Amino acid sequence: MLVRQWREDRCTVVHIVGDLDVAGAPRLQAELEQAMAAADPLHLVIDLTEVPFCDSVGLGVLVSTFNQVHQRHGRLILVVGPGMIRHLLTITNLDHHFETTESLGEARTALDDAA
């Protein structure tokens, strides 16, 4: 799994490529903690469009991040396309909790609209 992060005007973007599973989850957790520590305000966009698979450990990292962001009164947007990740969010009913968009552009627009 590859994880890349960068700061944009209104948010920190974390882009993931590869499976989000027990092997990669600790690395992603560390990257997300670093991103959250540096973000002010805490607006985090996690791009999952190149993640073909996510297991329960990976999902746990996303839920934990969601909780931390909301405790700090921040905003978290997941970028997900059609496929396994969207289906996973739906069957676990997490699609009612996570804010999702289908592209980074849509996530940027959502943050700009809220400003």
Give the CATH number of the domain where residue 31 resides: 3.30.750.24
Residue 115 has pLDDT above 70, yes or no: no
CB–CB of 21/53 below 8 Å? yes
Q: What total of structural domains would you count in the chain?
A: 1
Report which secondary-structure segment, H or E, holds 61. Answer: helix 56-71
* pLDDT at residue 40, rounded to an integer: 83
* pLDDT at residue 41, rounded to an integer: 83
Q: Which residue has the tokens 């985090």?
A: 44
Q: How far apart are CA 25 and CA 44, in angstroms?
A: 17
pLDDT tens figures, 38-90: 888 899 999 999 999 999 999 999 999 999 999 999 999 999 999 999 999 99
Q: Which of 59, 57, 61 is nearest to 35 (CA)?
A: 61
Q: Which of 98, 99, 28, 17 is nearest to 53 (CA)?
A: 17
Q: For residue 93, give its domain range.
A: 2-114
Residue 114 has pLDDT above 80, yes or no: no
| More reliable by pLDDT, 114 or 51 | 51
* pLDDT at residue 7, rounded to an integer: 93
